[in-house]
Amino acid sequence: MKILKQTLLWIFALAILICIGLYIPDSSLVSSQTGSRLLPIYCVETDRPVVALSFDAAWGNDDTAKILEILKKHDVKVTFFMTGGWVENYPDDVKAIAKAGHDLGNHSENHKEMSKLSPEECKDELMQVHKKVKKLTGKDMCLFRPPYGDYNNTLITVARDTGYFPIQWDVDSLDWKNYGVQNIKTAILDNKHLGNGSIILCHNGGKFTADALEDVITGLQDKGFKIVPISELIYKDTYNINAEGRQLKS
């Protein structure tokens, strides 16, 4: 009886703490829109057989031209998330990406762990590269991928307040590990998360990424998927994000 009373008292105290916000439930149990933890978009709820390919551009540039050639050959549009340093070092490639009709995405100025930054520092990281790309291409970016996939409520709030949709991924090519072409193909095409609305992470600087790209494109198409840029995949207005990071149309 004593144990039962102690249990009931603990439950009652916990309920009070939740109500007044001193206790936060596990983030996997709460919605990004209504719970305590804000989430970026990992994938999209859709009945359409569409997926989005994305490339983070933070280091290297040996294969960007080859990647663009393959994408052009297959008439596929993707999204490139670029750091400020990459934009500065390869301005002609930034222009080429824009001219080819691909999404230009923000990957921060200095590729820092942004969950450790203040709101002002987060905004500066976003706006420095935003201005550089705007000056080069005349385009205002609206897609942002946090470096290392690292984020917190502060970063998500700042990104949204500056007009950005924070974007993650639900399919990782693991191309940055440089295991080889077949590993990239398997990581994407046999991924258990691959489905309608998936966002696929690649890197333009991966050692084997360009060599695997054509087979990845045809493999996705053979599975019935159309490849679209993230800007055409996500919902721009009246949406929610569930506990797994899936964007839902309201």
State the 10-residue block means of pLDDT for the chain, 250 residues long. Answer: 40 38 30 70 98 97 97 98 98 98 98 97 98 98 98 98 98 97 98 98 97 98 98 97 96
Q: What is the pLDDT of residue 20?
A: 32
Would the CA dihedral through 198, 67, 211, 80 be positive or negative?
A: negative
Nearest to 83 by CA among 128, 26, 139, 34: 128
203 is catalytic: yes
pLDDT in tens, 90-104: 999 999 999 999 999
Q: What is the pLDDT of residue 244?
A: 95
Q: What is the pLDDT of residue 54?
A: 98
Question: Which pTM value belongs to this model?
Answer: 0.86
Number of C-alpha atoms within 13 angstroms, CB side, residue 85?
9
pLDDT in tens, 172-195: 999 999 999 999 999 999 999 999
Q: Which of 26, 47, 56, 193 is catalytic?
A: 56
Q: Which of 107, 111, 130, 203 is catalytic?
A: 203
On average, the pLDDT of the chain sits at 89
Q: Taking a C-beta distance cutoff of 8 angstroms, is the pair 107, 145 a contact? A: yes
Q: What is the pLDDT of residue 35?
A: 56
Q: Taking a C-beta distance cutoff of 8 angstroms, is the pair 122, 158 a contact? A: yes
Other CB atoms within 10 A of residue 140 CB: 11
Tokens describing residue 42 = 């990992």
Domains and CATH numbers, the chain: 1-30 (no CATH), 31-249 (3.20.20.370)
CA separation (Å) from 41 to 116, 164, 175, 211?
20, 11, 21, 28
Q: What is the pLDDT of residue 226?
A: 98
Q: What is the pLDDT of residue 36?
A: 85
CA separation (Å) from 92 to 112, 133, 197, 199, 249?
24, 11, 31, 26, 37
